């Protein structure tokens, strides 16, 4: 029966209209039943959460790492100043090589000092710093075995190694918190299956895309009744 016929009948029949209102009220009361009491599990849930370190302890560790990195940066700066200020006698190539080495050491000192002041920049310095430290450590060990470098010169590179470790620690402690879990993407076979499977909204009896019919049409109904339904 079309809804229009029902509405017209309810408008002219007080008895049926009262019955419909009473049925709606009964349905509403049946759905709005009081919720069942459940045990309070707040304390149990909070007790199973991991205990976060105290803010004071965390700040103490960060302050210690930054102070140590400041000391390493000052030491690296002290290493770079003599190579830049004093020239070497002899050919121009060794002089330029000393200046180039001093510039590298000055850049490393600036990196350490800036990260010590602004720890949030530690992660951005890691790609250059770790790659440079790894390559320099590898070639220094080879030069030590071959006798191409003195031990005191190799010991000076420990400042770089210590600074790289401190910057890595600050990057880990100041990393941004992760967001919620990323939505899992459907595998390609499932996507193809879903694409080939007919859409229920398209194949349902009752209307165009997005309007699924809930019952088959009456073959004997007129066109106007089918449009109203």
Each residue's pLDDT tens digit, 192-211: 555 555 554 444 444 444 44
pLDDT at residue 16 tops 50: yes
Q: What is the pLDDT of residue 62?
A: 83
Query: How far lies 199's CA from each of 194, 195, 202, 203, 216, in Å?
Result: 9, 9, 5, 6, 17
pLDDT at residue 136 tops 50: yes
Query: How far lies 5's CA from each of 12, 218, 220, in Å?
Result: 11, 16, 17
Task: Tell me the torsion sign for CA atoms 70, 118, 137, 92.
Answer: negative
- Share of residues in the chain with pLDDT > 70 (%): 67
7-11, 65-69, 170-174: least confident range: 170-174
Q: What is the pLDDT of residue 174?
A: 78
Residue 20's pLDDT band (cuts 50, 70, 90): very high
The chain-wide mean pLDDT, for the chain, equals: 74
Q: What is the pLDDT of residue 191?
A: 53
Residue 216's pLDDT band (cuts 50, 70, 90): very low
Task: Dump pLDDT digits (tens) for 218-227.
Answer: 444 454 555 5
């Amino acid at each position: 029966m079309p809804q229009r016929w029902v509405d017209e009948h309810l408008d002219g029949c007080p008895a049926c209209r009262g019955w419909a209102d009473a049925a709606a009220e009964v349905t509403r009361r049946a759905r709005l039943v009081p919720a069942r009491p459940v045990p309070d599990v707040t304390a149990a849930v909070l007790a199973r959460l991991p205990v976060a370190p105290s803010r004071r302890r965390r700040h103490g560790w960060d302050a210690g790492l930054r102070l140590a990195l400041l000391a390493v940066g000052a030491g690296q700066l002290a290493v770079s100043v003599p190579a830049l200020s004093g020239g070497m006698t002899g050919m121009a190539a060794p002089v330029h090589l000393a200046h180039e080495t001093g510039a590298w050491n000055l850049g490393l000192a600036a990196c350490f000092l800036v990260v010590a002041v602004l720890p949030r920049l530690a992660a951005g310095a890691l790609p250059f710093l770790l790659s440079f430290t790894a390559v320099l450590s590898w070639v220094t060990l080879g030069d030590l075995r071959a006798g191409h470098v003195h031990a005191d010169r190799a010991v000076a590179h420990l400042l770089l190694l210590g600074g790289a470790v401190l910057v890595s620690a600050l990057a880990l402690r100041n990393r941004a918190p992760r967001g919620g879990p990323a939505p899992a993407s459907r595998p390609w076979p499932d996507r193809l299956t879903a694409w080939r499977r007919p859409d229920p909204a398209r194949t349902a009896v009752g209307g165009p895309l997005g309007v699924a019919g809930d019952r088959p049409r009456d073959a004997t109904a007129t066109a106007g009744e089918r449009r109203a339904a």
